[in-house]
């Protein structure tokens, strides 16, 4: 079942996220389906901690970026979404390459949305599981 209420292309999503934390971290929206949105992020000097591993806080930033964008795409034209809670369980370290985050909805309510976001490494191994709660707010 198609969940998107806004019409979009991946190019438009990437343009919208220029000149902010999303582009600073190298996050790019790369794929979507009827009920999921994906983005990739490099594991490099922008996204690692001092010991060369993907930074847990940056993993959470990727998860929130993908989940928040997916939530916004599911909201009515006069609505936006804002994160109110996120958690992340880091399951395995990542040292290089890219990670891919896929957001899928748990609940799409009129006032709250809940999203599951799974981060996988280039070998498709699960490295982080995150849950994001969004508030749906009136905008404009």
Query: Is 98 designated active site?
Result: no
Q: Which domain holds residue 111?
A: 10-138
Per-residue pLDDT tens over the stretch 101-130: 999 999 999 999 999 999 999 999 999 999
Note the pTM of the prediction, 2 decimals.
0.96
pLDDT digits over 71-100, tens only? 999 999 999 999 999 999 999 999 999 999
Cβ burial, residue 94 (10 Å; 0-12/13-18/19+)? buried
Q: Which of 38, 64, 85, 98 is catalytic?
A: 64
Coil, helix or strand at residue 59: helix
Give the total number of structural domains in the chain.
1
Give backbone dihedrals phi and psi of 113, rounded to 5 degrees, phi first: -125, 145
Q: Is residue 2 part of a domain?
A: no
Domain at 32, CATH number: 3.10.129.10
Classify 35 in phi/psi space as left (phi over 0), alpha (psi -120 to 50) or beta: alpha
Q: Is the pLDDT of residue 42 over 80?
A: yes
In a domain, residue 3? The reply is no
Specify if 1 maps to a domain.
no
Q: Is residue 60 part of a domain?
A: yes
């Amino acid at each position: 079942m198609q969940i998107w209420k806004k019409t979009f292309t991946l190019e438009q999503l990437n343009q919208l996220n220029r000149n902010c934390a999303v582009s600073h971290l190298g996050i790019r929206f790369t794929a979507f389906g009827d009920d999921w949105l994906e983005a990739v992020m490099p594991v490099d000097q922008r996204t690692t901690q001092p010991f060369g591993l993907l930074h847990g806080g940056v993993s959470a930033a990727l998860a929130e970026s993908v989940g928040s964008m997916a939530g916004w795409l599911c909201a009515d034209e006069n609505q936006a979404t804002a994160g109110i809670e996120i958690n992340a369980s880091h399951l395995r370290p990542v040292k290089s390459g890219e990670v891919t985050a896929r957001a899928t909805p748990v609940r799409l309510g009129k006032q709250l949305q809940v999203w599951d976001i799974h981060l996988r490494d280039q070998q498709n191994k699960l490295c982080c599981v995150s849950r994001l709660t969004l508030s749906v707010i009136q905008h404009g």
